[in-house]
């Protein structure tokens, strides 16, 4: 990482627009799940699956709206960290970001291992555990190096990875439209397992919140980020529905050895189609991981700006204008987790950390509005619905997830008070 000269006197430039922000949210939501989701949802509700996906987007809307309404009030980096701090103080703001940051390193390692496993179907050498681990570490370090140069370069790279993800999915949909297939009639299902279906839909949409974090590098965050949140939710919902429709139209035979979409591509396009979707899955996970490397280090940067972490994390490269220390720290520790066999246990807490972020954000909206003397009843109702949804989903986590979540919470609390020692408590506040 030579050539980086940190400075706390400058701030990253605002270079990200609407489309760049859209890439953050889209890749946060779409990773590996889309390649298995069609078969799982079709098995649960039959030909109603595409409609069920549209209903899922509506169910998820309250959480999106809460983030959209709050993001219209802030223009600095931090997202949920700033929302929690403004409403409840620094400690709660820290907890809104810390767990997501810590578990994000583990998720980065785990997701990159999954990416390499997909590519192993094409490159058998990657089936060797040692070779796969080396490739995972190199991939994470290369992604880290790219992110050090500039936000603009990172967004351009993410755009390329996104194209490699979406184009093959578009080819599969076209194969279903123009191939000799008959779409099944939509039949209302019995909904015998409503709870599991709602859980499945919820997990399909999580990951959207990262778009709010780098607000300090967005040209017009108070305008663009709320629009992005709602627009991308609508777009991803429709994309999911179309892909599920394509899957059930092609109707591949279930195969435990291949993903649902790879099976559909094999039927519609032959072996080259299945190969295309396997590559697509690998690039989809790569885009998800790369997007995480853009977003999550900036959570540490935002926390340091708020005196919640040591000032070292807030230092900006004079040359590249990126939060270099935070990016390097995140990348190196993610790579370290990739070579530790026990990292999967910590990954169990990742979803709970997101849900804590959601719950704090939902609770923050009415508190901030009431303090401003302009509590909106509709906003309050939506916030309550979002909070209940996050709490209900969290109640379904297993004991291992809760144990790992508690470990992260305690570790974060200790780190918080160490960072706060000697601090005057001053920080950036930008809520309007």
pLDDT for 339 equals 86
Do 32 and 261 contact (CB within 8 A), yes or no? Answer: no
pLDDT for 191 equals 64
Over residues 398-424, the mean pLDDT reads: 82
Residue 355 pLDDT greater than 50, yes or no: yes
Q: Burial code of 103-140, b = ≥16 C-beta within 10 A, e = fewer? A: bbbbbbbbbbbbbbbbbbbeeeebeeeeebbebbbebb
Residue 397 pLDDT greater than 80, yes or no: yes
pLDDT for 9 equals 46
Residue 257 pLDDT greater than 70, yes or no: no
pLDDT category at 2 given cuts 50, 70, 90 is: very low
Residue 256 pLDDT greater than 60, yes or no: no
Over residues 46-60, the mean pLDDT reads: 93
Over residues 172-183, the mean pLDDT reads: 92
Chain Cα centroid distance, residue 176: 29
Chain Cα centroid distance, residue 115: 16
Least confident range from 8-12, 284-288, 376-380: namely 8-12
CA atoms of 292 and 233, how far apart (whole Å): 18
Percent pLDDT > 90 in the chain is 64
CA atoms of 46 and 273, how far apart (whole Å): 24
Percent pLDDT > 70 in the chain is 92
For residue 224, what are the CA distances in angstroms to 42, 206, 217, 218, 301? 35, 20, 12, 8, 21
Report which of residues 254 and 274 the model is more confident about.
274
Over residues 280-291, the mean pLDDT reads: 95
**What DSSP state is assigned to residue 183?**
P
pLDDT for 3 equals 36
Radius of gyration of the chain (CA): 21
CA atoms of 350 and 359, how far apart (whole Å): 15
Over residues 405-428, the mean pLDDT reads: 75
pLDDT for 5 equals 41
Residue 424 pLDDT greater than 60, yes or no: no
Residue 348 pLDDT greater than 80, yes or no: no
Over residues 336-363, the mean pLDDT reads: 82
Q: Give the tokens for residue 139.
A: 């991939």
Over residues 117-142, the mean pLDDT reads: 93
pLDDT category at 283 given cuts 50, 70, 90 is: very high
**What DSSP state is assigned to residue 3?**
T
Q: Read off the pLDDT of residues 158-174 as tens digits, 9 standing for 90 and up.
A: 999 999 999 999 999 99
Report which of residues 424 and 313 the model is more confident about.
313
pLDDT for 6 equals 42
Report which of residues 187 and 352 the model is more confident about.
352
Residue 1 pLDDT greater than 60, yes or no: no
The partner residues of 317 in beta bridges, in order of sequence, read 6
Q: Tokens 């192993």 appear where? A: 120
Note the pTM of the prediction, 2 decimals.
0.91
Q: Considering the chain, what is the average pLDDT of its residues?
A: 89
Residue 321 pLDDT greater than 90, yes or no: yes
Q: ∠299-305-311 over CA atoms, to 5°?
A: 100
Over residues 318-330, the mean pLDDT reads: 94
Residue 199 pLDDT greater than 80, yes or no: yes
pLDDT for 347 equals 66
Residue 70 pLDDT greater than 90, yes or no: yes
């Amino acid at each position: 990482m030579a050539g980086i000269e940190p400075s706390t006197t400058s701030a990253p430039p605002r270079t990200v627009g609407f489309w760049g922000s859209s890439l953050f949210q889209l890749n946060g939501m779409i990773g590996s799940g889309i390649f298995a989701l069609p078969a799982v949802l079709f098995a649960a509700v039959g030909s109603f699956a595409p409609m069920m996906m549209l209903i899922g987007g509506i169910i998820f809307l309250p959480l999106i709206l809460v983030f959209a309404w709050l993001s219209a009030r802030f223009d600095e980096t931090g997202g949920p960290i700033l929302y929690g701090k403004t409403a409840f103080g620094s400690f709660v703001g820290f907890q809104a970001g810390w767990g997501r940051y810590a578990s994000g390193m583990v998720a980065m390692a785990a997701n990159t291992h999954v990416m390499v496993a997909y590519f192993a179907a094409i490159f058998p050498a990657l089936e060797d555990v040692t070779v796969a681990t080396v490739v995972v570490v190199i991939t994470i370090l290369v992604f880290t190096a790219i992110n050090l140069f500039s936000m603009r370069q990172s967004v351009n790279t993410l755009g390329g990875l996104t194209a490699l993800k979406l184009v093959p999915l578009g080819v599969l949909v076209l194969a279903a439209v123009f191939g000799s297939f008959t779409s099944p009639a939509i039949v209302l299902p019995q909904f015998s397992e409503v709870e599991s279906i709602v859980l499945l839909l919820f997990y399909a949409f999580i990951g959207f919140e990262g778009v709010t974090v780098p607000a300090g590098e967005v040209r017009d965050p108070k305008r663009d980020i709320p629009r992005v949140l709602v627009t991308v939710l609508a777009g991803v919902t429709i994309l999911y529905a179309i892909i599920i429709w394509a899957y059930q139209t092609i109707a591949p035979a279930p195969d435990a050895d291949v993903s649902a979409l790879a099976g559909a591509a094999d039927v519609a396009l032959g072996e080259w189609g299945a190969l295309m979707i396997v590559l697509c899955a690998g690039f989809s996970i790569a885009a998800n991981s790369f997007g995480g490397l853009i977003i999550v280090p900036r959570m540490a940067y935002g926390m340091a700006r708020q005196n919640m972490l040591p000032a070292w994390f807030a230092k900006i490269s004079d040359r590249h204008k990126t939060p270099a220390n935070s990016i390097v720290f995140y990348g190196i520790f993610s790579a370290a987790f990739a070579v530790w066999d026990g990292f999967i246990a910590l990954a169990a807490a990742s979803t709970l950390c997101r849900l804590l972020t959601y719950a704090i954000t939902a609770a923050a909206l009415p508190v901030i509005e009431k303090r401003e003397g302009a509590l909106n009843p509709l906003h309050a109702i939506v916030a309550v619905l979002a909070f209940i949804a996050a709490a209900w989903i969290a109640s379904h986590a297993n004991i291992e997830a809760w144990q790992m979540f508690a470990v992260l919470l305690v570790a974060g609390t200790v780190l918080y008070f160490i960072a706060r020692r000697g601090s005057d408590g001053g920080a950036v506040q930008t809520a309007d």
